A and B are shown apart, each in its own frame.
Chain A
Amino acid sequence: MNLTEELLIDICRGAAFLGTGGGGDPYIGRQMVRQAMEYGHQVEIIDPNEVPDDALVIPTAMMGAPTVLIEKLPRGDEAICSLKRLEKHLGKKAFATMPIEIGGINSTMPLVVGAYLDLPVVDADGMGRAFPELYQETFAVYGISCTPMAISNEYGDTTLIETHDNFMAEWLARGVTIRMGGAAYIAEYSMTGAEVKRTSIHNTLTLAISIGRCLREAREQHRDPFGALFTLMPQTPYKFITEIYQGKIVDVQRTTSAGFSVGSAQIQGMERFAGLMEITFQNEHLVARVDGDVKAIVPDLICIMDSETAEPITTEALRYGQRVKVLSVSCPPIMRTPEALKSFGPQIFGIEEPFTPIEDLTKQP
């Protein structure tokens, strides 16, 4: 499939939804891809099953705080520097690149790399949404090493990281990212085509397209965009979707801490929702509570959307006074296995409550 501007816009809206508040506003990435297409480059998206088993795939991404990215735009070829450094290290050319994270701007970074290097982009990723840390990948859960990884800044300064495990890779790379100004560009989790097929969440770029298109078409045809989403999601591996709250943002607290955007938003309930919902985030929304009771919890998706237009709102765009609806969506089964929850579950974020699937939370009174 060749990327068009319309598909690009759909991907970005879908990616903002799947970003669950994080991953950064895909607008910057969308402009970077659009600019590349304006220069005459093309982007080809291929199914994971089209990748030969022995071919080398090198995923690429932005790493760091989204609040930094919207202010400090990249030079544009940072991720390309990282991919080339990794090719040099491995002594092999990449057959394709791939997202590590479908949520937010990282759905678009590999598209920029693919455009300028004329590499296809694999329709799959390792997070199925957005997560703050590098080891939170199905790739890692199912045995692929994050390293060797390369990380570059706007000067083309590059660090090559090799570590004994993926936690150390995250730890070192985060430190380098902060030194690089809070946003840096990486190539990592290099793997074979066979490994892509085994460890990735398939067809998430096309899922983002479906979600984006569903919201766009509902709006164009004046159908309720929320209703359209509620019809679409059960047909995907993200089967269960529910509205957990509706109200007005009355407070947003955030800091940039250790390279992450952390904080919380308070939502004053409206309509059938009484009380105050607090949503805690570390780049992405982690847990939604009302009066201390968990209403949705990571790794299930928590999405804050404009209550009228159903536009997904990222944490950095949350503002006092916005009217919002909060949706929760179940993540696919590959992300809910015991070994996956060790990487993605609430405990890794220091949350005391255990993971409870949104399907079960909804049943409680």
Chain B
Amino acid sequence: MRIGIDVGGTNTDAVIMDGRSIVAHAKRPTTPDVSGGIISVLKTVLREANIPPSEIQAVMIGTTHFTNAVVERKRLLSVGIIRLALPATKCLPPMCDWPHDLSSALGNHSYLVHGGFNFDGRVIAPLDEAAVAAAAKDIKKKGLKTAAITSVFSPVNQDMEERGAEILLQEIPDIEVTLSHQIGRIGFLERENATVMNACLAELAKIVVDSFRTALSELKIEAPFYVSQNDGTLMTSDYVEKYPVLTFASGPTNSMRGAVFLAGLKDAMVVDIGGTTSDIGMLIKGFPRESSVAVDIGGVRTNFRMPDVLAIGLGGGSIIRNEGANVGPDSVGFKLTEEALVFGGQTLTATDIAVAAGLAQIGEPKKVAHLNPKFVNAALDRIHDMIDTAVDRMRTSAEPLPIILVGGGSILISRNIPSASEVTKPDYAPVANAIGAAIAQVGGEVERMFSLDAISRDEALDQAKQEAVSKTIDAGAREETVAVVDIEEVMISYLPGNATRIRVKAAGDLAMS
């Protein structure tokens, strides 16, 4: 048996699954320390399933914590951004195409220095070590705790990024450093963006992963735990601590996979309403439609491979203002059970509106009895309108699709959505994300240099594919479900022997014992 957990901004959900059947499920508020919410929800499901912790073979955690931090511009560290590239790249400075509020939240501490490589491995300019050292001094003076280093063509040669990190660590031994070649691929701006975002999450990543550990050890669950990443596969805990950015958009992947599992519909629009945001994505033949162009996270362009989802600031915790005319984009988040009116708080939230309209029984309904029905209706109009507009934007044809409604905030939707053919709310819809995490796939990745003088490209690819597939099976995947999900090649033109770097990723369902 295994546990799937979804840690959202508002709620922490858990399911225990035995094969394809759901043994127990529960939803508890997310706590500021994260672990409290996990402990509380795990206690509930373990009790409900009536099994000892030793029966649990694996724990899969999906979290939108990191995405939310960027979307809400909260809990982000200021980042020392070091670019090794001059005189090239000067026309487009770091964060040039970012929303201004996000770039100012990160502090605009950019250092452009001479360095970087050409495609053939020659240097654009020798690394200006003195300039990196000066940047390091300035970063120290400013007290920044984290830095991002990006050099031109670092996927081909990472030496300068590594040397830059050495210089930086000499000056500030305890600074967190993210190097771009570890995060992304060719495509300078997108890779730099992802690197900077990873860096700004450094502190939060430690806190969150620590709290996962604390929670599981407190409940004496000794099974390994994994965190799901954007392509729907799982990564180990120490990996996510270093690369939190890789969890971006894992929420949508999980909820869409969970929705397919629950609703059995193959072509549909999945609307996942959480506490803080709603994610809208499209299913085609049972698979999330992937974005073929650069993906925006919080308004920032990245080159991650992920489902094409639109996130809007609407959730159960969204703050209602202006007599219902304004909903969100800010949310009380995990403080819903303190701040919402139905829980005795002072803030009017979307959940209060749902309760006042009789759509849900949460907290104390009498605490919202005083709300003007006109006002409640205006807010509901606005909420349905926001979802309708978003679904409309994601449509790729005039043909309306059915909506599969999932997530804890799905209580907000009670009416027809004009841009959809129908609205389906499957059983267990509120915990679809946790189900998606529980059925997440394991991946196996191979990255190797091949000399195409010695073997043909087809042979090299076959070899890499086979290795990735067997790694996936070794990692616990059922053989018949394993498929190659990504292939990437980088020609290393500066090395003799027609060298190429091939990266193959395979994934498959975790075998159930």
Report A's interface with B, CB cutoff 8 A. 27-28, 31-32, 34-35, 65, 67-68, 70-77, 154-155, 178, 181-182, 222-224, 251, 253-256, 306, 308-309, 311, 313, 317, 319-323
Contact = CB atoms under 8 A, between A and B. Distances in A.
A254 B395 CA distance: 33
B166 interface: no
The 6 closest A-B pairs by CB, nearest first: A76-B91, A181-B118, A73-B89, A308-B396, A154-B88, A306-B292
Residue among B118, B153, B282, B487 having the largest count of chain A Cβ atoms under 10 Å? B118
Given A222-B398, A224-B398, A73 B119 contact: no
Interface string B269-282: 00000000000001
B122 to A, nearest CB: 7
Nearest to B191: A71
Nearest to A112: B91
Contacts of B188: 70-73
A71 B186 contact: yes
A320 B152 contact: no
Looking at chain B's contact residues, the main secondary structure is loop
A182 B120 contact: yes
A255 B124 contact: no
B89 A72 contact: yes
B88 A75 contact: yes
Contacts of B395: 222
A75 B89 contact: yes
A314 B187 CA distance: 13
A223 B399 CA distance: 10
15 contacts: A27-B294, A67-B119, A72-B85, A72-B118, A72-B119, A72-B153, A73-B89, A73-B188, A255-B491, A256-B119, A308-B282, A309-B292, A311-B293, A317-B292, A317-B293
B119 A182 contact: yes
B159 interface: no
B281 to A, nearest CB: 12
Contacts of B119: 65, 67-68, 71-72, 181-182, 256
Interface in B201-222: none
A181 B88 CA distance: 11
A213 B153 CA distance: 34
Contacts of A309: 292, 396
A321 B457 contact: no
A28 B116 contact: no
Interface of B: 85, 87-92, 96-97, 116, 118-120, 122, 124, 152-153, 186-189, 282, 284, 289-290, 292-294, 305, 392, 395-398, 457, 484-487, 489, 491, 493
B124 A154 contact: yes
Residue among A222, A253, A309 having the largest count of chain B Cβ atoms under 10 Å? A222
Given A27-B294, A256-B493, 16 more contacts: A28-B92, A31-B92, A70-B188, A72-B119, A73-B152, A182-B120, A224-B397, A254-B489, A255-B491, A256-B119, A308-B282, A309-B396, A313-B292, A320-B484, A321-B290, A322-B290
Contact of A72 (B116, B293, B487): B116
B303 to A, nearest CB: 9
Nearest to A324: B292
A171 to B, nearest CB: 19
A320 B97 CA distance: 28
B187 A319 contact: no
A36 to B, nearest CB: 9
Contact of B289 (A67, A73, A308, A313): A308
Contacts of B118: 68, 72, 181-182
Contacts of A222: 392, 395, 397-398
A26 to B, nearest CB: 12
A136 to B, nearest CB: 23
B90 A76 contact: yes
Contacts of B152: 71-73
Looking at chain A's contact residues, the main secondary structure is loop
Contacts of B487: 251, 320
Contact of B398 (A77, A223, A321): A223
Contacts of A253: 457, 489
B88 A74 contact: yes
Given A35-B91, A154-B88, A256 B290 contact: no
A55 B55 CA distance: 84
A225 to B, nearest CB: 8
B485 A321 contact: yes
A72 B192 CA distance: 12
Contacts of A317: 292-293
Contacts of A71: 119, 152-153, 186-188
Residue among A71, A154, A323 having the largest count of chain B Cβ atoms under 10 Å? A71
Contacts of A31: 92, 96-97, 189
A73 B92 contact: yes
A72 B292 contact: no
Contacts of B294: 27
A217 B85 CA distance: 39
Contacts of B97: 31, 34
Contact of B186 (A67, A74, A321): A67
Nearest to A73: B89
A76 B187 CA distance: 17
A74 B89 contact: yes
Nearest to B289: A308
Contacts of B87: 75, 154-155
Contacts of A320: 484, 486-487
A71 B457 CA distance: 24
B491 A322 contact: no
A311 B292 contact: yes
A71 B85 CA distance: 10
A175 to B, nearest CB: 13
Contact of A181 (B122, B486, B489): B122
A182 B122 CA distance: 11
Contact of A32 (B91, B153, B486): B91
Contacts of A182: 118-120
Contacts of B392: 222
A140 B251 CA distance: 54
B292 A322 contact: yes
B90 A181 contact: no
A143 to B, nearest CB: 35
Contacts of B493: 256
Residue among A32, A254, A306 having the largest count of chain B Cβ atoms under 10 Å? A306
Contacts of B122: 181
B100 to A, nearest CB: 11
B487 to A, nearest CB: 5
Nearest to A16: B293
Contacts of A322: 290, 292
B91 A74 contact: yes
Nearest to B396: A308
Contacts of A255: 491
Contact of B92 (A35, A65, A67): A35
Contact of B90 (A34, A75, A321): A75
A75 B83 CA distance: 13
A251 B488 CA distance: 10
Contact of B292 (A70, A154, A251, A319): A319
Contacts of B489: 253-254
A70 B91 contact: no
B96 A256 contact: no
Contact of A73 (B91, B290, B292, B398): B91
B292 A256 contact: no
Contacts of B186: 67, 70-71
B27 to A, nearest CB: 34
